[in-house]
Chain A
Amino acid sequence: MPTSYHIVVCGSIVPDPLQTLEPVTTPTGPALKNELLLPAVLDPWAGHALFEAAHLAKQHPGSKVWLVSIGPKAKLQQVMMTVAQKVPFELIAIDGPAGGFTESAEIAAALAEAIQGLPGLDKSRLLVFGGWESATRGAGTTLQMVGERLGIVDQFQGVDQLTVRPDGSFQVLERIEGGRHQVSSCGALPALCGWATGNLPEPPNNPQVGMLNMRTVMPALQRAKPTKISNEGVTFPSVSLPKQRRETKIVKDMPPDDIAREIVEWIGKE
Chain B
Amino acid sequence: METILFLAHTESDGSLGQAALESLAAARTLAAGLTGSTLIAGLVGGSVQSAADQIAGCGATRILGVAAADFASSRYSTDVVAVEALARAAAATIVIAPATSRWNRVLAGAAQRLDGRIDAHATGITAADGKPGLTRWYYRQRMEAVVQRTRRPWFILLEAGCAAAWNGPAGTAAVESVAAPLTDANRRTIVTGVQAPPTDQQTIRPDAKLLFVAGAGWTKAQPDGKAHSVEAEEIILDFLGKTKASLGSTKSLVDLSGEGQAVLKFMTHLNQVGQTGSTPRHPKGLATCCHGEEPHTVGWRFINERRAINLNPNCSWAQGKADVLYVADAFVVMRKVNALLAAK
Contacts and interface: CB of A to CB of B under 8 A. Distances in A.
Given A18-B293, A182-B191, A251-B326, A153 B76 contact: yes
A21 B143 contact: yes
Contacts of A260: 333-334, 336-337, 339-340
A39 interface: no
The majority secondary structure among interface residues of chain A is mixed
Given A179-B202, A235-B148, A186 B189 contact: yes
A254 to B, nearest CB: 7
A153 B108 CA distance: 12
Nearest to A196: B269
Given A250-B313, A250-B318, A184 B190 contact: yes
Given A174-B101, A182-B191, A233-B151, A263 B293 contact: no
Contacts of A103: 117
Interface in B247-296: 258-259, 268-272, 275-276, 284, 286, 293-295
Given A259-B326, A261-B340, A137 B74 contact: no
B295 to A, nearest CB: 4
A77 interface: no
Interface size of B as a range: 35 or more
Contacts of B275: 17, 135
A117 B124 CA distance: 39
Contact of B321 (A142, A246, A254): A246
A174 B276 CA distance: 17
Nearest to A32: B139
A264 B77 contact: no
B34 interface: no
A204 interface: no
A15 interface: yes
B8 to A, nearest CB: 15
Interface stretch (B24-32, B36-44, B192-200): B192-200
A153 B328 contact: no
Name the 3 nearest CB pairs between A and B, nearest first. Answer: A179-B204, A260-B336, A141-B108
